[in-house]
């Protein structure tokens, strides 16, 4: 009787051991299952490089929104003060108007008691607008000097009060708009940071380690570039000293000191820069908090503003304004205390340390602390400009 059992494929199993081909297939299946388990159903898991880029973009977008928040907050604060001042002024002028109305009313009552027809003074009290009053000027011809003075005072107070009320109304409208901008910017910052945290939370321990390794390599490359910049600056300084010793000074055409548009910083600037840097160094280790201006935490522009304030120099609040608060110089001519701005939208800033190391002090991003770092921390192309603020 013929057996119906299927014959075993030759080479499939030898002494219970799978062939290399099947073992490889099994391992591949396990790997695929593992990847599927780590990924959400129906989700294409991004590569580590994609996650790194996306997180970096989200942080930069959050920083951009932070600067918009800072600008809106500053504008809101100023506008609120203006509204308060106008409302106080309106209250004072309303009181003066009421006093003028009372005096005018006393004349109207006196005219009524004497049996006069239509009280001339009352005509002005019945007027609803300044134009109504000016249209009744002929009535003044029948008034005494004191009545005319009372009418003039009433007209002046009513006109000024209405003007201030209109200004207050417009200022309140502007305040409402700036508060809306503030709320929008705040929501944007929070959303971008939440998205970044969510992306990072999906990484495995191995992926986080690899991400840290990538960041370390970037820092090493940034440090190398910073050292190269420091070497170039040292050579320029040596060239200037040699030219001075030869009696020729630093010639304009030597290329070592820059053009007349970007002169080297003077001694007074150096003194201020030392104070600014001393303050910045004292903040190292304090957390980055968006919108913060100290003393316990800072964002990037909050730190630079506070540092230069310690040196007696008033800088604007935002990076957008700080970049215009001084003289722009080439990177090769950066000196201690200069502000280093980053990205095309000018959304980050640090304080250059120089002195042979090409480093800066800055408040980098959420989750980090004020620290020293290469000005090339995000690559050459990230540097927007160098500005000497005083």
pLDDT in tens, 292-325: 999 999 999 999 999 999 999 999 999 999 999 9
Measured between alpha carbons, how far is residue 345 from residues 21, 61, 275 in Å?
55, 10, 29
82 vs 47, more confident = 82
Could you give the residue numbers annotated as active site? Answer: 300, 348, 362
Location of structure tokens 């200069």? 338
Residue 118 has pLDDT above 60, yes or no: no
Concatenating the DSSP letter of every residue in 150-172 gives HHHHHHHHHHHHHHHHHHHHHHH
pLDDT band, residue 159 (cuts 50/70/90): confident
**Buried/exposed code over 288-297 (b: 16+ C-beta within 10 A; e: otherwise):** bbbbbbbeeb
pLDDT digits (tens, 9 = 90+) for 53-106: 999 999 999 999 999 999 999 999 999 999 999 999 989 888 888 887 777 666
User: How confident is the model over 11-34, as a mean pLDDT?
Assistant: 38
Which range has the worst mean pLDDT, 8-22, 91-105, 237-251?
A: 8-22
Model pTM above 0.85:
no
Share of the chain above pLDDT 70, in %: 72
């Amino acid at each position: 009787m013929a057996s119906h059992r299927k014959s075993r494929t030759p080479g499939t199993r030898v002494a219970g051991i799978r062939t290399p081909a099947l073992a490889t297939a099994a391992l591949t299946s396990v790997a695929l299952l593992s990847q599927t388990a780590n990924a959400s159903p129906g989700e294409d898991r991004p590569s580590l490089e994609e996650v790194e880029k996306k997180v970096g973009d989200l942080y930069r977008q959050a920083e951009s929104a932070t600067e918009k928040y800072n600008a809106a907050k500053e504008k809101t604060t100023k506008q609120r003060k203006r509204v308060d001042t106008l409302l106080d002024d309106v209250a004072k002028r309303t009181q003066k108007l009421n006093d003028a109305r009372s005096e005018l009313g006393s004349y109207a009552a006196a005219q009524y008691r004497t049996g006069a027809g239509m009280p001339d003074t009352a005509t002005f009290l019945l007027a609803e607008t300044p134009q109504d009053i000016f249209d009744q000027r002929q009535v003044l011809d029948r008034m005494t000097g004191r009545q005319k003075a009372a009418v003039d005072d009433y007209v002046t107070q009513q006109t000024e009060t209405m003007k201030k009320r209109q200004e207050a109304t417009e200022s309140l409208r502007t305040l409402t708009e700036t508060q809306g901008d503030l709320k929008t910017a705040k929501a944007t910052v929070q959303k971008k940071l939440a998205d970044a945290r969510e992306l990072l939370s999906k990484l495995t321990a191995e992926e986080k380690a690899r991400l840290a390794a990538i960041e370390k390599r970037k820092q090493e490359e940034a440090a190398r570039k910073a050292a190269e910049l420091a070497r170039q600056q040292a050579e320029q300084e040596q060239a200037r000293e040699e030219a001075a010793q030869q009696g020729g000074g630093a010639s304009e055409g030597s290329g070592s000191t820059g053009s007349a548009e970007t002169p080297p910083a003077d001694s007074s600037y150096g003194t201020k820069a030392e104070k600014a840097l001393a303050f910045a160094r004292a903040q190292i280790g304090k957390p980055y908090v968006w919108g913060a201006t100290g003393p316990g935490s800072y964002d990037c522009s909050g730190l630079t503003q506070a540092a230069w304030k310690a040196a007696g120099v008033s800088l604007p609040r935002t990076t957008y304004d700080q970049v215009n608060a001084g003289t722009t110089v080439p990177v090769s001519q950066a000196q201690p205390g200069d502000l280093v701005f980053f990205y095309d939208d000018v959304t980050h800033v640090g304080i250059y340390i120089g002195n042979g190391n090409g480093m800066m002090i800055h408040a980098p991003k959420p989750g980090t602390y004020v620290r020293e770092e290469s000005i090339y921390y995000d690559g050459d192309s990230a540097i927007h400009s160098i500005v000497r603020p005083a």
